[in-house]
């Protein structure tokens, strides 16, 4: 069975959020990005590679003291695909799969991440990806099987994650998601509406 690592995507500009760095917005007493980082570190898959880009120094400072492998994506302005590729390139070669966690999903927990890894490990036939689904819609985080998807990921461009690669594939394992796997914070209004954990 493939070793599973984690990629935390924390490089985006967050333009819909406004001029303030979205990932540094305070929620429940800490920066938004810290919630995703702490969930990733509380889960099993290792290492956890955090990809920085926009506001890299400030995000690095917010994540100080956490056991993350921090890398910078100099091409972050070209879109999320470049950050995904940068994170995957930083994983040890022994990692045949990776859970991709978005830095703006504050309600994702270690349990969500561990469920993806467990479903992958227990599948009768190794899937190309494991994806949470809530009300018929795929959410995040997702687990990507790098042995199946590496070539496709290498060709990804723009501000898209692996979603387009997975669409229509018969070898995707869907597992139950919940409100947390469907919630990302894109605007100040969404942050205000969140309420305490």
DSSP, res 176: E
The CB density around residue 184, as the number of other CB atoms within 10 Å, is 16
| Residue 30 counted as domain residue | yes
Q: What is the CATH number of the domain that holds 13?
A: 3.90.550.10
Of residues 40 and 195, the one with the higher pLDDT is 40
| Residue 42 counted as domain residue | yes
Nearest one of 2, 186, 6 to 100, comparing CA atoms: 6
Confidence of residue 197 (pLDDT cuts 50, 70, 90): low
Handedness of CA 16, 19, 23, 26 (dihedral sign): negative
Q: What is the pLDDT of residue 15?
A: 81
| Residue 197 counted as domain residue | no
- Residue 147 is part of which domain span? 3-192
| Residue 147 counted as domain residue | yes
User: What is the total count of domains within the chain?
Assistant: 1
Per residue in 148-185, pLDDT (tens digit) is 999 999 998 888 788 888 998 999 999 999 999 998 88
| Residue 138 counted as domain residue | yes
Q: What is the pLDDT of residue 174?
A: 97
| Residue 88 counted as domain residue | yes
Give the C-alpha separation, 57 to 18, whole Å: 19
Q: What is the pLDDT of residue 164?
A: 87
Q: What is the DSSP string of 38-98?
A: HHHHHSS---EEEEEBTBHHHHHHHTTTS--EEEE-TTGGG-HHHHHHHHHHHS-TTEEEE
pLDDT over threshold 90, residue 95: yes
- Residues 2-25 have a mean pLDDT of 90
Confidence of residue 128 (pLDDT cuts 50, 70, 90): very high
Q: What is the pLDDT of residue 1?
A: 59
| Residue 74 counted as domain residue | yes
Q: What angle do CA 167, 86, 107 make, to 5 degrees?
A: 65
Q: What is the pLDDT of residue 125?
A: 93
């Amino acid at each position: 069975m493939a070793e599973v690592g984690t990629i935390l995507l924390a490089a985006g500009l967050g333009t819909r959020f406004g001029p303030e760095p979205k990932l540094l917005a305070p929620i429940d007493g800490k920066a938004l990005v810290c919630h995703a980082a702490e969930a990733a570190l509380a889960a099993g898959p290792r290492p956890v590679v955090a990809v920085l880009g926009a506001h890299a120094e400030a995000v690095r400072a917010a994540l100080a003291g956490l056991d993350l492998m921090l890398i910078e994506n100099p091409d972050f302005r070209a879109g999320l695909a470049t950050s995904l590729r940068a994170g995957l390139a930083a994983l040890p070669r022994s990692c045949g799969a990776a859970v991709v966690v978005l830095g703006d999903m504050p309600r994702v927990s270690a349990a969500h991440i561990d469920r993806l890894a467990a479903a992958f490990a227990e599948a009768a036939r190794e899937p190309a990806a494991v994806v949470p689904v809530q009300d018929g819609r795929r959410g995040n985080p997702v687990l990507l099987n790098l042995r199946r998807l590496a070539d496709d990921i290498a060709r990804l461009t723009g501000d898209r994650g692996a979603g387009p690669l997975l669409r229509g594939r018969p070898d995707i394992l869907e597992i139950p998601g919940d409100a947390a796997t469907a919630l990302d914070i894109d605007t100040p209004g969404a942050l205000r509406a969140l309420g305490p954990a």
